[in-house]
Amino acid sequence: MLVLFDIDATLIRTEGAGIKAMVDAGGELFGPGFTADGVLFAGRLDPLILVDLLFVNGQSPTPANMQAMREGYRKHLQTRLRSGVGRALPGVAPLLDRIESAHEATLGLLTGNFAETGSLKLAACGIDASRFVVKVWGDDSPHTPPAREHLPAIGMERYRQSRGRDIRPQRVLIIGDTPHDISCARAHGCRSLGVGTGQFRAEQLLAAGADHAVADLSNTDSIAGWILG
């Protein structure tokens, strides 16, 4: 079994440090009026978010601008995370331990974050990204434009490379807090677990097609039993 966790509002909360750091980066590059107004963030891929931020602020998403935004985002995120805003969400630590110790399960990430900034967020919340055997990041799609629906197949291929065997989609579980997490699982025949710790309640994630949904991850025994059972 491959268990793929989203990061923001599923494993951790950083009180908007990522959004603020992206705006910091844009302000440094393009002026103090740089804004995130009208840009959607929840469940989306970082490359698409940067494109939208540039468009909203009248800038072209050229490779140079995208790279400058990405580098500035990393720099400003490091600064913002030093204030101690990050924390793991309820139940995350014991659930990760339980899944990691289960011989039939492989722990993984499937997230819209860039690798460098997603790892920074996790570290600020006391989670080591290296414990996740399979990692799929927000810029891993081989397609243009990228989409979250492209990512589960990458996760299954990285599982094959890591474990030396294929995995059926029915043995892949994607855990996240938005309908984007649910839809990318459904697109590949994977299972999904919705977590109501973000902008969407458990009931809304069930309505979006989640196989199961919980308010948060605090009931370790029940959730681990559903995942592994």
The predicted-structure confidence for 152-211, as pLDDT tens digits, reads as follows 999 999 999 999 999 999 999 999 999 999 999 999 999 999 999 999 999 999 999 999
Question: Rg of the chain over CA atoms, in angstroms?
Answer: 17
Distance of CA 201 to the CA centre of its chain: 17
What is residue 192's three-state secondary structure?
strand
What pLDDT does 45 receive? Answer: 98
101 Cβ contact list (under 8 Å, min separation 6): none
Long-range contacts of 145-148 (CB under 8 A, 24+ apart): 145/48, 146/45, 146/47, 146/48, 147/45, 148/43, 148/44, 148/45, 148/112, 148/180, 148/181, 148/183, 148/184
pTM above 0.85, yes or no: yes
The pLDDT, as a whole number, for residue 203 is 98
| DSSP 3-state of 80 | helix
Q: CB-based burial of residue 69 (10 Å sphere; 0-12 exposed, 13-18 middle, 19+ buried)?
A: buried
pLDDT of 119 reads 98
> Which residues, given as ranges, of the chain have pLDDT below 50?
none
Mean pLDDT of the chain: 97
Rounded-to-5 percentages of helix, strand, coil across the chain: 50, 15, 40
Residue 60: per-residue pLDDT: 98
Give helix 151-163 / helix 179-186 axis angle, nearest 10°: 60
| Model pLDDT, residue 229 | 86
Question: What's the pLDDT at 216?
Answer: 98
**Nearest partner of 107 among 95, 124, 125, judged by Cα:** 95
Report how far residue 135's alpha carbon sits from residue 81's, in angstroms, rounded to the nearest whole number. 22
What is the CATH T-level fold of the domain 2-13+87-228, as seen in this structure?
Rossmann fold (3.40.50)
